Amino acid sequence: MDGGVGTRSRAAALLLVCAVVAVALNQRPAVVAVAPVLGDLRADTGLSSALGGLLTTLPVLCFGAFAPVAPRLARRIGLELAVAVSLLLLAAGIALRLFPPVALLYAGSLLAGAAIALANVLMPAYVKREVSRPGAVMGVYSASLNIGAAVGAAATVPLATAFGWDWRVALGSWLCLALAALALWLPVAGTGHARRAARGDVPGGGSWVLLRQPLARQVTAFIGLQSVQFYSVAAWLPTLLADSGVPVSRGGLLLGLANLVGAAGALLAPAQAGRMRTQRPLVLAVGLAYLVGLGGLLLAPGTATTVWVCAFGLAQGSGFALALTLIVLRSPTPLTAARLGGVAQCLGYLLAAAGPLVLGWLHDLTGGWAWPVGLLLVLLGPMTWAGWGAARDAVVRTEEEPALSPG
């Protein structure tokens, strides 16, 4: 593929990877930083539990709702500029949270969620275009997503305590990271690739037309069902462990540990996927890791808890990274990857947003965690089935490519 990292100087290639990492590090802190300060936030604003919870759910809904906008934006102004726009919107959303009216708190969360939705779709397409063998770079990108989430959750309160910040400044402190990423992205992105995305780069037809093909539906189902696993457990794991006798403080640390183990899985899975003609063994490995983690949390949550949490962390990190990599590998062109990513992430994140609600409802209905965790175990079946189909050696058709061609 022309314009890959291999055609750049070593320094330019390193700077490009650094820019990709900088963008990835920004795609979770603005969302996960809310939960640690939610108590102070509610005490200061008087928000109810439901309205406070909406601040953490709203960005995930935006991930789905705004994902289809990304390929249209990339087609109009180009991938590089579209990513820059997403960083500007993210910075604006974070900045809005610094101002007193509660309405601006929600507006900032909405804007930040929309910005992250754009970057979620655009970055895999950009990597596909700029890197001839995208597996390793997708691994670094996916691992950076996990690291950003872990740092955002773990560092927000300690930073606020160390510097005497209130919750608004604590949330606003992540503005510095967004501006730093933008400063790095602008001079680096596309330096080895003269061609910019234009209308001619995008196959005709809408993104949703792709769902007529089984392969596109399987990619969409895999990313959606594994996202349900992650967001459901991330929302309820500390509570589940606390109900099993694990101290609340340790539950939070274990959730952080899951993210760190997930970063390792996210780094390794895409690199391995890029070397394989079919990624089906990786799909089975992800399913097995989920089975061990969820099975342990169902049968013995208070015993060998660290093992179950690490297994789940490995599954969610490698599973999400594999899902993003499958979008790249199953697409014949970079902006087809943007189209497929927009559709898959739209439906996937909207489905994922329902996961915590359904698990909470089941818990209230049954008074325990057996049925909620059991439901997640049952969903491993269709998730693995979808992944098995999505991992086959093929690419989605476009109007210019009337038949499935080898990946």
Contact 219, 383 (CB under 8 A): no
Q: Note the pTM of the prediction, 2 decimals.
A: 0.80
342 Cβ contact list (under 8 Å, min separation 6): 67, 68, 69, 70, 71, 121, 207
- What residue ranges define each of the domains in the chain, with the CATH number in brackets? 1-202 (1.20.1250.20), 205-398 (1.20.1250.20)
Contact, 321 vs 223, CB < 8 A?
no
Instruction: Determine the length of the chain.
Output: 407
* Per-position pLDDT tens, the chain of length 407: 334 455 567 888 888 889 999 999 999 898 888 877 877 888 888 887 667 777 877 888 898 889 889 888 988 888 899 999 999 999 999 999 999 889 999 999 999 999 999 999 999 888 888 887 788 888 899 889 888 888 887 788 888 888 989 989 999 999 999 999 999 998 876 554 444 444 444 444 467 888 889 999 999 999 999 989 988 887 788 778 888 888 766 766 787 788 889 888 888 898 888 888 899 999 999 999 999 999 999 999 988 899 999 999 999 999 989 998 999 899 888 878 888 988 998 998 888 888 888 888 898 899 889 999 999 999 999 999 999 999 999 998 765 444 333 33
Q: What CA–CA distances, in Å, run from 184 to 20, 204, 305?
A: 9, 33, 40
Per-residue tokens: 380: 């491993």
